Amino acid sequence: MDRRKGLPSPADKVVTTMNIYKKKRIIILFLLPAVLGMAVFVYYPLIQSLWNSLFEWNLFSSDKSWVGLENYRSIFTDGNIWITLRNNVLYAVISVICQVLIAMVLAACLEEVFMRKFQPFFRTILFLPSLISMTVVAILWKAIFNPNTGLLNAFIHAIGFTDITPQWIGDANIAIFCCIFISQWQGMGYCMLLDLIGIQKIPAELYEAARIDGAGTVKRFFYITLPMGKESMLVTSLIIVIGSFKLFTEIQVLTGGGPGRATEVLATAMYRAAFTNDKMGLGSAYAILIFVITMILSLIQLKVSRSGQE
């Protein structure tokens, strides 16, 4: 450094430049595995699926016939697509009601003074289903819903309704609600626990001031708990809606999309087209449709998250 003028010398500038260059190389070196992983396991399969959706082909032949957008036309001219989308939307709506709104109410109840003594017990009971794999949960409830040997019908008969034998997942009118129920049974406790943590971060002085002013439990919930937690609830709602359009495991294990197509969702329609009917091009088109829907919802989530931070 030039001590007379207090300016860096040319040698100091060279050293600084070399240090910056080394830091950039280190950053690139750390980022490279992640970038390569994303390219190989995310972007390449996505591009390949998009390309495959423009052909008619199957797994047992190397021949591919160019059909352009015909696979997409087939999806939207098939009357079952509207049943499929309705089931996904129905799942999303009920999931938001149960895993966002009802979970928040449960969390608020557990945080009340008179419930704090019992909070660890109920928190554990409600959270336990979240620790079980969805595949295991679906197999468990499939046995419970069995109309002949299941515990649910056995209980109904035991309390005196011997002439009632619901078919549950065998009934096209209620099968989708049975599938949705087990998802809520598994996921509500996890969302409740997150809401409980959020409520515990709200300053206790707000609740104490509200009590002094005469606000009851309901008013404290609507005027303190909900406003303080609305941003996280909105983001959670969007995450749940995105997950609703990727729904697969519980439907596939419980009903396989049946009876008929009564419980079909986008992911099971993709599986049916690709691996049951061996129409890989049509299955790829379903995959791209799921990607487009979830991408749009993800962009909305990012927008909401940024607006919340601002």
Residues 82 and 17 in one domain: no
Does a structural domain hold residue 73? Answer: no
Does a structural domain hold residue 72? Answer: no
Average pLDDT over residues 254-271: 93
Of 29, 46, 66, the residue that ends a domain is 66
Residues 186 and 96 in one domain: yes
- 161 falls in which pLDDT band (50, 70, 90)? confident
- Is the pLDDT assigned to residue 23 strictly greater than 90? no
* pLDDT tens-digit map of 107-130: 999 888 788 888 889 999 999 999
pLDDT of residue 81: 92
Exposure b/e, 169-205, CB count within 10 A at least 16 = b: bbeeeebbebbbbbbbebbbbbbbbbbbebbeeeeee
Residues 83 and 21 in one domain: no
Residues 45 and 149 in one domain: no
Instruction: Report which listed range, 22-26, 76-80, 174-178, 194-198, is most confident.
Output: 174-178
- 7 falls in which pLDDT band (50, 70, 90)? low
Residues 221 and 118 in one domain: yes
Which residue type occupies 226?
Answer: L
Does a structural domain hold residue 3? Answer: no
Cα-based distances in Å from 182 to 144, 157, 251, 263: 11, 22, 10, 14
Residues 44 and 99 in one domain: no
The pair phi, psi for residue 214, each rounded to 5°, is: 95, 10
| Number of alpha carbons in the 13 Å side-chain half-sphere of residue 226 | 11
Average pLDDT over residues 157-170: 90
- Residues 266 and 286: beta-carbon distance below 8 Å: yes
pTM for this predicted structure: 0.84
Structural domains counted in the chain: 2
Q: Residue 92: give the domain boundaries.
A: 78-309
- Measured at the alpha carbon of residue 99, what is the angle toward residues 94 and 101, in degrees to the nearest 5? 85
* pLDDT tens-digit map of 221-245: 999 998 888 888 888 888 899 999 9
Token pair, residue 227, equals 């406003």
- 14 falls in which pLDDT band (50, 70, 90)? low
